[in-house]
């Protein structure tokens, strides 16, 4: 189910109930101006059969990430939260919650992550696709943590464009060439 644009409070309430009643497995609500209160209305009662959730281009912030981390989304394997003003606090909430055990695909591109915040991704044991484009600086320390945890070896898709990768970071970028299908790492300096 794909929804783009603003929803009224009644529509928000009906959306969650409709998804539970009809066993929706994929839900995309983008550019809808969702804030944490609106998200709470949709998630009220949980969506345990949902497998893919895209909430990109909204106003969820860290509070929205906390709500997602605490909701009954036990079937969720794909989560897109691009452009939601989420920081490392929101990422830590996702990594500490029950979702961390099931997420296979995570898109947190264009969120203002502080350096070092991406290390929390090590706690996602099934993660195979990661989109971080313009999501703050990825440091060499983070890449070493990803390597040590096995995360870099599991990834099939990785977007690190515009994450301020230095030459030192590129030296730490040890991916599994037999597994990786897509690696995007061009930095702003590389375009010059």
| pLDDT single digits (tens) 55-95 | 999 999 999 999 999 999 999 999 999 999 999 999 999 99
Mean pLDDT of the chain: 90
Tell me which DSSP letter residue 114 carries: P
34 phi, psi to nearest 5 deg: -65, 135
Name the pLDDT band for 111 (thresholds 50, 70, 90): very high
Q: Which helix (H) or strand (E) holds 54?
A: strand 52-54
pLDDT at position 39 is: 96
The residue with tokens 């464009």 is 161
Would you say residue 124 has pLDDT above 70? Answer: yes
Cα 9 to Cα 42: distance, rounded to the nearest angstrom? 10
Q: Which domain holds residue 153?
A: 2-191
Q: Read off the pLDDT band of 164 (50, 70, 90).
A: confident
- The average pLDDT across 39-49 equals 93
**CA separation, residue 16 to residues 20, 50, 65, 103 (Å):** 6, 11, 17, 21
Write the pLDDT tens digit of every residue in 130-146.
999 988 888 888 888 99
Residue 21 pLDDT > 80: yes
Rg (C-alpha) for the chain, rounded Å, is 17
DSSP for residue 44: T
Which has more pLDDT, 163 or 102?
Answer: 102
Beta strand extents in the chain (DSSP E only): 2-4, 26-30, 52-54, 78-80, 105-107, 129-131, 157-159, 182-184
Tokens encoding 127: 């993660």
- Count of other CB atoms within 10 angstroms of residue 101: 11
pTM across the whole model: 0.92
Q: Structure tokens of 106?
A: 């995570």
Distance, in Å, from the CA atom of 140 to the CA atom of 166, rounded to the nearest integer, reads: 8
The structural domain count of the chain equals: 1
CATH number for the domain including 57? 3.80.10.10
Task: Tell the burial category of 192 from Cβ atoms under 10 Å away from its Cβ (0-12, 13-18, 19+).
Answer: exposed
Least confident stretch, 98-112, 119-133, 176-190: 176-190
Per-residue pLDDT band at 7 (split at 50, 70, 90): confident
């Amino acid at each position: 189910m794909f929804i783009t644009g603003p929803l009224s409070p009644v529509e928000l309430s009906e959306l969650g109930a409709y998804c539970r009643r009809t066993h929706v497995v994929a839900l995309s609500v983008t550019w809808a101006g969702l804030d944490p209160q609106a998200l709470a209305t949709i998630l009220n009662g949980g969506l345990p059969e949902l497998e893919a959730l895209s909430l990109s281009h909204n106003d969820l912030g860290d509070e929205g990430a906390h709500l997602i981390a605490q909701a009954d989304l036990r079937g969720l394997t794909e989560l897109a939260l691009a452009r939601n003003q989420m920081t490392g606090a929101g990422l830590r909430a996702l990594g500490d919650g029950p979702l961390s055990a099931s997420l296979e695909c995570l898109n947190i591109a264009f969120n203002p992550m502080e350096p070092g915040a991406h290390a929390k991704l090590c706690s996602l044991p099934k993660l195979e696709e990661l989109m971080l484009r313009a999501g703050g600086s990825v440091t060499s320390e983070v890449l070493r943590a990803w390597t040590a945890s096995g995360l870099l070896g599991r990834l099939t898709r990785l977007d690190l464009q515009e994450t301020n990768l230095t030459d030192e970071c590129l030296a730490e970028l040890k991916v599994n060439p037999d597994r990786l299908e897509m690696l995007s790492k061009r930095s702003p300096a590389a375009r010059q």
